[in-house]
Amino acid sequence: MGIVEEAHNVKILGTGDRTIVLAHGFGTDQSVWKHLVPHLVDDYKVVLFDNMGAGTTNPDYFDFERYSTLEGYAYDVIAILEELQIPRCIYVGHSVSAMIGAIASVARPDLFTKLVAVSGSPRYLNDVDYFGGFEQEDLDQLFEAMRSNYKAWCSGFAPLAVGGDMESVAVQEFSRTLFNMRPDIALSVLQIIFQSDLRHMLPHVTVPCHIIQSMKDLAVPVVVSEYLHQNLGCESIVEVMSTDGHLPQLSSPDVVIPVLLRHIRYDIAVDK
């Protein structure tokens, strides 16, 4: 196993001719895809990995300078594909990893046949003529709460992000992976995500993109999916699901898994 593979806990499952890469978002790890993976392994080679900074990775490997922008994570994705000698893949990215995949695809479009973006956003802050869902004051309060008592913040944030019942298995699962992150790393990562603005990059994306979004999502207002659709330089398609929460693949798998499988299997040209 190579250095990159080991650092990111890379797992390869299935034996298909085509490769799918599953990339998780903030506060989770590759286990967030557990409901989807069994439906893929008979037809695809499936690559799972953990983003640096996830609770399952070695915190000593987290380079605060490298990960001061989302490009650091995008170069990790490219490094994983290169180390595994994967010539092209279908990339499924959740939350921040939707945008990380977009950045990687601009740098190396040859590596990607399509992007499937789940709950992704190019900017979380509101701006003139743009609704991202947050004001700077909201974010400052959130960061301060993380600094003052990380465990308490996790307990409060998890049910808000997941949506639905506070006692649900999905909320407990997200609480666990969130709390597994080292607090200073979690704060740094979330600050970089929430302060990022990738709107300028969207016209440069050429790889077809399938945009999948929950009707109700604390982190990403539903209008953001239409903004992506209108501003991406590539062919794109949007599907808004009747789900609640930012981690629908974990909280509403019965609804989400069929949607994901459809977008993975069929190309936009076929859908038209």
Average pLDDT, the chain: 95
Rounded mean pLDDT of 62-89? 97
Q: Which residues are catalytic?
A: 95, 217, 246
Query: Which two structure tokens, joined as six digits, stand for 53?
Result: 């900074």
Cα 74 to Cα 77: distance, rounded to the nearest angstrom? 5
- How far CA 121 is from CA of 72, 96, 100, 220, in Å, comes to 18, 7, 11, 6
CB 93 within 8 A of CB 117: yes
Cα 111 to Cα 120: distance, rounded to the nearest angstrom? 20
| Res. 164: pLDDT tops 80 | no
pLDDT per residue as tens digits for the range 87-135: 999 999 999 999 999 999 999 999 999 999 999 999 999 999 999 999 9
Cα 151 to Cα 31: distance, rounded to the nearest angstrom? 21
Query: Which two structure tokens, joined as six digits, stand for 160?
Result: 């808000």
Nearest CA-CA partner of 119 in 77, 78, 161: 161
Stated pTM of the model = 0.96
